[in-house]
Chains A and B, each alone.
Chain A
Amino acid sequence: MPRKIRVLIAKPGLDGHDRGAKVVARALRDAGMEVIYTGLRQSPEDIVEAAIQEDVDAIGLSCLSGAHMTLFPDVVKLLRKRRAGDIVVAGGGIIPEEDVPRLKRAGIKEVFGPGTPLRDIVAFFEKAGKGA
């Protein structure tokens, strides 16, 4: 049996809006993935540490407070510093469209805004988990 895809769902920064993160975590679990949810108020350091400890294939970051431009790129930078740059990072939340290209340049593979169908998010992590 192939190894299950492992995903870390994380809430960076102080933002307490966890509805979306929890719904996504559950959808990924229902799709057969191994999901680790960090809980709230994680620093980029906490998130990277958890990702390495848990040996995940991908990280899903959720932020609705507007701090994404600082926190998301920090996670990617730290992963690279820890030689774990192969872990795929995606993000979601209240993110203005004009921020999306800048986030992608900073190494965020995909950005999921409000209204994204769960199946698109599931498909993304399935692909990420298979190393595609």
Chain B
Amino acid sequence: MADSEERKKLERELRRWETTSLKDALEAHPERRKEFLTTSSRPVRRLYTPLDFSADFVERLGKPGEFPFTRGIHPTMYRGRLWTMRLFAGYGSAEDTNARFKYLISHGETGLSVAFDMPTLYGYDTDEPEAKGEFGTCGVAVSSLEDMETLFGGIDVGSVSTSMTINGPASVLWAMYLAMAESRRVAWPKLRGTIQNDILKEYQAQKEWIFPPEPSMRLVVDTFEFGSKHVPQWNTISISGYHIREAGATAAQELAFTLANGLEYVRWGIDRGLRVDDFAQRLSFFFNAHNDLFEELAKYRAARRIWARELRDTFGAKNPRSWLLRFHTQTAGVSLTAQQPEVNIVRTTIQALAAVLGGTQSLHTNAYDEAYQVPNEKAARIALRTQQILAHESGVANTVDPLGGSYYLEALTDELEEDAYRYFDRIQDLGGVIPAIRKGFFQQEIANSAYRYQREIEDKERIIVGVNDFVVDEQSEVEPLRVSDASLRAQLERLGRIRRARDRAKWQRALDRLRKGCEGDDNTMPLILDAVRACATLGEICDVMREAFGVWEEPLLY
């Protein structure tokens, strides 16, 4: 807010309004509720005015493409280039998912995103006992280099960008992708894409961990180091708030925990001896888009501002590109209802709008049938069309940060930023991110928020359309998507054939060298690549690492 004269004048005006127009209105018609709350149970005031901002408001906002990037990371934002429309897809075998990728590309998708099945996420092959019943149900099974080659059959990996949601065994799946590109003579510097590779949030929320935190962090930093030398356009991590939010966190917790994790990765990279400007540009982010439009929007803007400040001022990054928080967004899966599922299309539209108004770099929109299953073809197409309508019909992509300057939005952005710093202090008091994970701090905070949210729904303090109000008695009509037994049989046959046909001596040597490397300090990426090239499977490679590193046991709480 500008000078104090003007401020006083505004205060006087506001008091006058409160004692006249507002008072009369409240006397005539009381408000609907005593307290109005955001989706994260944050109290919302009746009216926001310029008095709600700090004096350095204009400076804190900055200009788009300039520090502190509150308004966006590019000067022109979507006037220059639209966000990448990237639908998370995967089910059944590599062949099944390859067909889905081609379907989505043919309908205008602009980037690929791989969902792996549970065994793959935990580093097991399809034919291991742990995989029983789990093949291809919520993602694609990739156990071998040959599976990876099949998954991208007929797709030009030199031009498409590919995101892979993989964490515990991220370096193995990345090695398979790199080896696949190599066999097609696509040079690694041409490859663009992202591995999620964010292990810290696995312990906190998504729970797809394998090894304990320290060796896992070593594997992550190995990919930073390897990527900065050999695959310079690849994002070696996608620091993810999405799963933290889905597990029940509030917007402020999502923001704070994600950025605390991000700063922890930067510390580990620097401790390895890497220069911050050599790897910070390859750190990317991934946020949730929940129902509360303004709160979500404020979260993205606060995230950009905090990251830029911390990278520049705390870590001394010199290259402005290191200060940029680039992020992918997915609409909130947890908000989808099984009741009246078509209505989910509307929810997803509002959430996607928040992401776009918040300046996302890429976006996944959920399909309306996802409270039941991995989406069927038609549902996935409608989800993609939702983004195309926002991009080409709604007009929101015509100007940069269209809601910037909204009194409410700017006040919320400041509030969320303050909340995040309060959490940073608490995490620091617990000894840092990893000690706080061991104490179950994040896990308990998230469980508490999830329970409060559910209680609000039970008590009807929060209305979910079709669930606790506006209910109809009807069977939902969702066309089921099933993984075929034939896909499973083909996958098992392929794995058997790979194990029989490979050069056993070469395979054994590669695994032995990997074991030695894991026990020492060498970068594991070249060793994993050699094992993949020698046709070692995902499960075999992860078994070697499980033996060397041990496995994580999480603190039990609810």
Partner-B contacts on A (CB < 8 A): 9, 13-19, 21-23, 25-27, 35, 37, 39-41, 64-67, 69-71, 94-98, 113-115, 117-119
A14 touches B122 (CB 8 A): yes
**A59 → chain B, closest Cβ, in Å?**
16
Q: Are B133 and A71 in contact (CB under 8 A)?
A: yes
Chain A, Cβ-Cβ closest to B455 = A118
CB within 8 Å of A: which of B204-263?
A: 206-208, 246-248
Enumerate chain B residues within 8 angstroms of A117, measured Cβ to Cβ.
458, 468
Nearest 9 CB-CB pairs, A to B? A70-B133, A66-B137, A16-B207, A22-B558, A14-B118, A67-B133, A114-B338, A25-B558, A115-B467
Q: Check if A22 sits within 8 Å of B137, measured CB to CB.
A: no
Q: Which of B296-347 contact A (CB under 8 A)?
A: 334, 336-339
**Known pairs A16-B207, A96-B478; A118 contacts B134 (CB<8 A):** no
Distance A25 CA – B556 CA, assembled complex (angstroms): 12
Shortest CB-to-CB span from B368 to chain A, Å, is: 13
Q: How many A-B residue pairs have CB under 8 A?
A: 105
Instruction: Confirm or deny: B454 has a beta carbon within 8 angstroms of a beta carbon on chain A.
Output: yes
Q: A39 to B334, Cβ gap below 8 A? A: no
12 pairs from A and B in contact (CB 8 Å cutoff): A13-B133, A16-B207, A16-B208, A19-B248, A23-B248, A25-B558, A26-B451, A66-B134, A66-B137, A70-B133, A96-B478, A97-B372
Provide the residues of chain A in CB contact with B454, threshold 8 Å.
23, 27, 118
Question: Which residues of A are found within 8 Å of B451, using beta-carbon distances?
Answer: 22-23, 26-27
User: CB-CB < 8 A to A96: which residues of B?
Assistant: 372-373, 478, 480
A37 touches B133 (CB 8 A): no
Check B480–A119 contact: CB distance below 8 A: no
| Complexed CA–CA distance, A96 and B372 (Å) | 5
Contacts of A95 in B (CB 8 A): 372
Instruction: State A26–B476 Cα separation when bound (angstroms).
Output: 29
**Set of chain A residues within 8 Å of B374, measured between Cβ atoms:** 66
Contact code string B445-466 (vs A, CB < 8 Å = 1, else 0): 0010011001100100000101
B558 and A70 within 8 A (CB):
no
Considering only CB atoms, which chain A residue lies closest to B134 in the complex?
A67
Residue B119, interface by CB 8 Å: yes
**Does A39 contact B556, Cβ atoms closer than 8 Å?**
yes
Q: Are B558 and A37 in contact (CB under 8 A)?
A: yes
Chain B residues whose CB sits within 8 angstroms of the CB of A118 once the complex forms: 454-455, 458
| Chain A nearest Cβ from B551, distance in angstroms | 10
- Is the Cβ of B247 less than 8 Å from the Cβ of A39? no
A107 to chain B, nearest CB (A): 17
Is residue B498 within 8 Å, beta carbon to beta carbon, of the partner chain? no
Which residue of B131, B455, B464, B475 is within 8 Å of A97 (Cβ)?
B475
Tell me if B334 and A19 are in contact (CB < 8 A): yes
Question: DSSP class of B's interface residues: helix, strand, loop or mixed?
Answer: loop
Interface size class of B (residues with CB under 8 A): 35 or more
Looking at A13, A25, A117, A118, the one whose CB has the most chain B CB atoms below 10 A away is: A13
Question: Contact partner of A69 among B133, B138, B466, CB < 8 A?
Answer: B133
A12 nearest in chain B by CB position: B133
A18 lies within 8 A of B133 (CB): no
**Contact across chains for A65 and B137 when beta carbons are under 8 A apart:** yes
* Interface flag for B396 (CB, 8 Å): no
Answer whether residue B522 sits at the interface, using C-beta atoms and an 8 A cutoff: no
Complexed CA–CA distance, A21 and B207 (Å): 13
Residues of chain A within 8 A of B468, CB atoms compared:
117
Q: Is the CB of A16 within 8 A of B337?
A: no
B544 in the interface (beta carbon within 8 A): no
With a 10 A CB-CB cut-off, give which of B132, B554, B556 has the most chain A CB atoms.
B132
User: When chains A and B are docked, how far (Å) is the Cα of A69 from the Cα of B478?
Assistant: 18
B371 lies within 8 A of A18 (CB): no
Is residue B130 within 8 Å, beta carbon to beta carbon, of the partner chain? yes
B170 contacts chain A at the CB level, 8 A cutoff = no
Given A37-B558, A66-B374, A70-B134, 9 other A-B residues pairs in contact with their CB atoms under 8 A: A16-B206, A21-B558, A23-B447, A69-B133, A97-B476, A97-B478, A115-B337, A115-B464, A118-B458
Query: Which residues does chain A contribute within 8 Å of B246, judged by CB atoms?
Result: 19
B338 lies within 8 A of A115 (CB): yes
Q: Which one of A9, A97, A98 has the greatest number of beta carbons of chain B within 10 Å?
A: A97
A28 to B373, CA, bound (A): 27
Residues on A with C-beta less than 8 A from B337 are 114-115
The answer to whether B558 touches A26, judged by C-beta atoms less than 8 angstroms apart, is yes
Q: B397 an interface residue at 8 Å Cβ cutoff?
A: no
Residue of A nearest to B449 (CB): A19
B87 in contact (CB, < 8 A)? no
Q: Which residues of B contact A98 (CB under 8 A)?
A: 480
B121 within 8 Å of A (CB atoms) = yes
Interfacial residues of chain B within 266-304, with CB under 8 A of chain A in the complex: none
Q: Contact: B121 with A14, CB < 8 Å?
A: yes
Proximity string of chain B (496-536) to chain A, C-beta cutoff 8 Å, 1 when within and 0 when not: 00000000000000000000000000000000000000000
Tell me how far the C-beta of B40 lies from the nearest C-beta in chain A, rounded to whole angstroms.
15
In the complex the two chains form, is A19's CB within 8 Å of B134's CB? no
Q: How far does the Cβ of A65 sit from chain B's closest Cβ, in whole Å?
A: 5
Which B residue's beta carbon lies closest to that of A38? Answer: B556
Q: Is the pair B138, A66 in contact by a Cβ cutoff of 8 Å?
A: yes
CB contacts (< 8 Å) of A65 on chain B: these are: 118, 134, 137-138
Q: Provide the bound-state CA to CA distance between A119 and B206, in Å.
A: 27
